Amino acid sequence: MKRIIQFHISKGDKYYTAEGADLPIVTQGKTLDELAENIREAVELHLEGENPADFDIAPNPSVLMNFELPQIHA
């Protein structure tokens, strides 16, 4: 079972966007702090009333946010 729920983070013009790597969750925030709180809320709502084991997720998982940097020109 997975103990970590991963999200890919990208920055748009006005918002940071988070997309779940293993769960169909998408959310956004104006700051990274707001985004982190929105991710927490979205995960809680997604799993509310569900058995996490049905999603191959351990109870009380951690969240990992992977931030995508713009292209680097070397």
Q: pTM of the predicted model, to two decimals? A: 0.86
Enumerate the domain spans of the chain. 2-67
pLDDT value, residue 74: 73
Cβ pair 7, 61 in contact under 8 A: no
Tell me which residue of 43, 67, 59, 63 sits closest to 1, measured CA to CA.
59
As to burial, measured by CB atoms within 10 angstroms (0-12 exposed, 13-18 middle, 19+ buried), residue 48 is exposed
pLDDT, tens digit (0-9, with 9 covering 90-100), for 21-46: 999 999 999 999 999 999 999 999 99
Q: What span, in angstroms and rounded, lies between the C-alpha atoms of 67 and 44?
A: 21
- Domain covering 2-67, topology: TTHA1013/TTHA0281-like (3.30.2390)
